[in-house]
């Protein structure tokens, strides 16, 4: 029996003038034996139609748009999501928010949901991943240039009953 996923909640928080933090939590359903390996949970999620979503023009998850952010779904590989520690997750989030290229960084109120999520992930002991895709034109949608910043993270709860996708973006 394959794993299935359903949206628990989705929030989008503005960061910069055209920047945002998008966080969606999913319930993971299926036999406990299928959920033991967090890599397997993430791989099954990326194979499922629910993983399709554009973040520039946020619609519902699973709208059959054949893309996940700037990536074509049929070319997106689970191996591009590298395991990282929760400390590295915090560091990568901080680096994205403190990028010196931005003349006006997110204020404390805007940063709080992003940093709060990272702290919750660390506190629960989730497994964390960062999307580290190759920079190849053939894996991206035609209008991928729209994303000036696209940082995606995935986390899986210790009980493997929840998966979250967090995206920091600027378009």
Q: Extract the residue ranges of the chain whose pLDDT is less than 70.
A: 1, 56-59, 136-147, 171
pLDDT of residue 1: 54
Pairing mode, strands 81-84 and 67-68: unpaired
pLDDT of residue 68: 80
Give the model confidence (pLDDT) of 107-151 as tens digits: 899 899 999 999 999 999 999 999 998 776 566 665 655 567 789
pLDDT of residue 154: 97
CATH at residue 69 = 3.40.1000
pLDDT of residue 140: 65
pLDDT of residue 135: 72
pLDDT of residue 145: 58
Task: Residue 59: give the domain boundaries.
Answer: 4-170
Q: Are 84 and 41 in contact (CB under 8 A)?
A: no
- Structural domain count, the chain: 1
Helix (H, G, I), strand (E, B) or coil at 15: coil
C-alpha 73/C-alpha 49 separation (Å) is 9
């Amino acid at each position: 029996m394959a794993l299935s996923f359903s949206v628990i909640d989705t929030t989008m928080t503005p960061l910069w003038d055209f920047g945002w933090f998008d966080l969606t939590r999913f319930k993971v359903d299926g036999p406990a034996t299928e959920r033991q390996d967090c890599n397997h949970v993430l791989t099954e999620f990326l194979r499922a139609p629910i993983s399709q979503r554009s973040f520039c023009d946020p619609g519902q998850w699973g709208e059959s748009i054949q893309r996940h952010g700037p990536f074509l779904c049929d070319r997106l590989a689970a191996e591009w999501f590298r395991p990282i520690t929760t400390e590295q997750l915090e560091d990568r989030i901080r680096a994205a928010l403190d990028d010196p290229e931005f003349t006006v960084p997110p204020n404390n109120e805007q940063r709080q949901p992003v940093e709060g999520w990272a702290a919750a992930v660390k506190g629960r002991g989730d497994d964390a991943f960062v999307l580290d895709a190759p920079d190849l034109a053939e894996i991206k949608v035609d209008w991928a240039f729209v994303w000036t910043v696209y940082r995606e993270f995935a986390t899986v709860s210790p009980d493997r009953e929840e998966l979250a996708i967090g995206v920091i973006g600027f378009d």
